[in-house]
């Protein structure tokens, strides 16, 4: 007899289960940055998702590098992978669906090459299937602005097929990431409610230490999501290092869920030119030189999952894992 789908969240939440074994979860780092380092050209509306069709072995290679560096969780190459997006690139709907599910398989294969059943020196790593925002599909930088032309119902409809494909592919949870608005986050919770037992973390892109990209206070977002079934964690990604500690504190004031953060390296992204530049603002005590240097502050603020977003590397994740081992 199968377990009831109304099991307590603490039994279903894979992040809480992992955190019962380690002081904090180490998330992987940038996928696109490493793919470019391997010689891949990502100058395309599909970004790294294009390589699901053209060079899947490169994606698997990057996942494996992060697992070997000590990551407890890999985020799949499905951030910009949607059926409409693939079809606009000339694929059939059936081919698009297969590629979306391949993103999970590649991460699973990389995990299986590094972690074996019965291994006791580290917990079994998680596969978090990336669900990028509607703005990623638009490929116009609006994941850093919000202000979409879709309402909540329209966002539910947009996300539904990929959401279901990734769950069916066997991901441990979904990573609804770089969301610029609370409305899009609530659309994700609507889909979670349609699929009892499904789990997702929800992370926002943020413009400063208190507000997500469209200007909504992140404390308001945390309060709205705190008790939604299936929300395994709340946090921020693709955000400047300087803002992370404050954002964690704002979230922690409003909810008791695990908080995950995976900021950018410290450089500044121009979504118009799609280029990176060194930060020119004055550095504060919170604007730390690297991920490992921030962990102690972020742990104290209330977070329990750390990784890297744009312009980070396996070396950054290895430093996080080494910091954890050293303590």
Cross-strand bridge partners of residue 231:
200
Sequence-distant (6+) residues with CB within 8 A of 3 are none
Distance CA 117, CA 130 (A): 25
pLDDT tens profile 239-285:
999 999 999 999 999 999 999 999 997 666 555 555 555 543 333 33
- In terms of phi and psi (left: phi > 0; alpha: psi -120 to 50; beta: otherwise), the region of 147 is left
Distance CA 106, CA 53 (A): 12
Angle between helices 182-194 and 152-168 (to 10 degrees): 50
Question: Residue 294 has what DSSP assignment?
Answer: H
Q: Mean pLDDT in the chain?
A: 89
Distance CA 62, CA 110 (A): 9
Task: Decide: helix, strand or coil at residue 169.
Answer: coil
Residue 154 parent element (H or E): helix 152-168
Spell out the per-residue pLDDT of the chain, length 327, in tens. 333 333 333 348 999 999 999 999 999 999 988 998 988 777 776 767 789 999 999 999 999 999 999 999 999 999 999 999 999 999 999 999 999 999 999 999 999 999 999 999 999 999 999 999 999 999 888 888 888 899 999 999 999 999 999 999 999 999 999 999 999 999 999 999 999 999 999 999 999 999 999 999 999 999 999 999 999 999 999 999 999 999 999 999 999 999 999 999 766 655 555 555 554 333 333 333 478 889 999 999 999 999 999 989 999 999 999 999 998
pLDDT tens profile 25-68:
999 999 988 998 988 777 776 767 789 999 999 999 999 999 99
- In terms of phi and psi (left: phi > 0; alpha: psi -120 to 50; beta: otherwise), the region of 139 is left
Taking every pair of C-alpha atoms in the chain, what is the biggest distance, in angstroms?
Answer: 60
Distance CA 154, CA 138 (A): 14
The reported pTM is 0.90
CB burial class (10 A; 0-12, 13-18, 19+) of residue 3?
exposed
């Amino acid at each position: 007899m199968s377990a009831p789908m109304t099991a307590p969240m603490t039994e279903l939440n894979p992040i809480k289960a992992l955190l019962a074994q380690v002081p904090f979860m180490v998330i992987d780092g940038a996928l696109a940055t490493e793919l470019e380092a391997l010689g891949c050209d990502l100058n395309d509306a599909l970004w790294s998702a294009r390589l699901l069709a053209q060079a899947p072995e490169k994606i698997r290679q990057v996942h494996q590098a992060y697992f070997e560096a000590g990551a407890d969780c890999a985020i799949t190459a499905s951030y910009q992978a949607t059926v409409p997006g693939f079809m606009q690139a000339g694929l059939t709907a059936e081919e698009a669906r297969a590629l979306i599910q391949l993103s999970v398989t590649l991460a699973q294969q990389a995990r299986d090459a590094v972690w074996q059943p019965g291994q006791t020196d580290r917990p079994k790593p998680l596969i978090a299937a990336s669900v990028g925002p509607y703005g990623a599909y638009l490929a116009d930088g609006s994941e850093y602005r919000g202000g979409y032309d879709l309402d909540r119902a329209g966002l539910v409809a947009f996300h539904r097929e990929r959401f279901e494909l990734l769950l069916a592919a066997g991901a441990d949870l979904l990573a609804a990431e770089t969301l610029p608005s609370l409305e899009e986050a609530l659309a994700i919770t609507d889909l979670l409610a349609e699929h009892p037992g499904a789990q997702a973390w929800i992370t926002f892109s943020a413009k400063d230490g208190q507000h997500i990209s469209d200007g909504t206070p992140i404390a308001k977002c945390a309060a709205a999501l705190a008790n939604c079934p299936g929300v395994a964690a709340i946090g921020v990604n693709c955000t400047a290092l300087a803002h992370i500690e404050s954002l964690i504190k704002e979230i922690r004031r409003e909810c008791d869920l695990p908080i995950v953060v995976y900021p950018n390296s410290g450089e500044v992204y121009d979504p118009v030119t799609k280029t990176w530049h060194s930060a020119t603002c004055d550095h504060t005590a919170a604007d730390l030189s690297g991920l490992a240097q921030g962990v102690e502050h972020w742990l104290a603020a209330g977070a329990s999952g750390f990784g890297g977003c744009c312009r980070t590397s396996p070396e950054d994740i290895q430093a996080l894992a080494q910091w954890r081992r050293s303590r």
